[in-house]
Amino acid sequence: MSSESQGLGKAEVRLKWDPTPWNEPPHHLDIIAATYSADAPHGPPVYVVHFDSRSPDGTINMNRHSLTGQGFGYVEVMTLELDRLASSFARVVVGVVIHQNSGPKTFGDLTNAGVLVVEGYRELLKDDFARLAGSTAATVAEFTRDTLTKWTFRELVRGFDSDPVAFTAEMGGVP
């Protein structure tokens, strides 16, 4: 855990949702992180991390992944080691997307969904997606580097009506 004057060091994004009833196709959600360069902090992402991938330098990893929401508490977890990111990065945007494989689904179709962003034991964001009931994807957090070493957090809960591929292209744009 870092002090406020040093900025953020290592953050975790956690995601939860209840499984669907046995006779319905499962809801599949994913945490997605997109990195942006200091030269183009609102341009196209340098790389995107999601399930079954990690950042090239190992600083952003999906530690836990769920296809169904089954499990106790937060069933999907992504770790961001911001203090280890190269100085060429100035921004990381984190979002959540609902896969649309079995028909259209929005956050309003989910039960007990939630996202939690923490640094150590400090809670930075906790949200239940209720204000995004009609959305299929959402950004939740923005981490920015305001000097060469200091990272800060900003809540960025904003809904999108996108599939996973389109969402990764538009999630870091200027609102």
9-25 per-position pLDDT tens digit: 899 999 999 988 888 88
pLDDT above 70 for 98: yes
Q: Which of 30, 171, 158, 167 minimizes the C-alpha distance to 92?
A: 171
Q: What is the largest CA-CA distance in the chain?
A: 52
| Nearest of 27, 133, 116 to residue 70 by alpha carbon | 27
Q: Bridge-partner residues for 133, per DSSP?
A: none
Check: CB of residue 91 under 8 Å from CB of residue 144: yes
Question: What is the C-alpha to C-alpha distance for residues 173 and 77, in angstroms, rounded to an integer?
Answer: 24
Question: Alpha-carbon distance 23 to 4, whole Å?
Answer: 48
pLDDT at 39: 92
d(CA 35, CA 148) in angstroms, rounded, equals 16
Taking the model in full, what pTM does it have? Answer: 0.92
